[in-house]
Amino acid sequence: SKAQEPKDEL
């Protein structure tokens, strides 16, 4: 799957 963007987790 397309990377989940933007990565909002630290």
Partner 1 sequence: MNIFRLAGDLSHLAAIIILLIKIWKTRSCAGISGRSQVLFAIVFITRYLDLFTNFISAYNTAMKVFFLGSSIGTVYLMYLKFKATYDHNHDTFRIEFLLLPTALLSLVLNHEFSVMEILWTFSIYLESVAILPQLFMVSKTGEAESITSHYLFALGSYRGLYILNWIYRYYFEGFYDIIAIVAGCVQTILYCDFFYLYITKVLKGKKLQLPA
Binding site for partner 1 (CB under 8 A): 1-4, 6-10
Min separation Cβ 7 and partner 1, Å: 7
Min separation Cβ 4 and partner 1, Å: 6
C-alpha of 7 from chain center:
3
Min separation Cβ 10 and partner 1, Å: 5
Radius of gyration of the chain from its Cα atoms, rounded to whole angstroms: 7
Task: Give 7's contacts (C-beta < 8 A, 6+ positions apart).
Answer: none
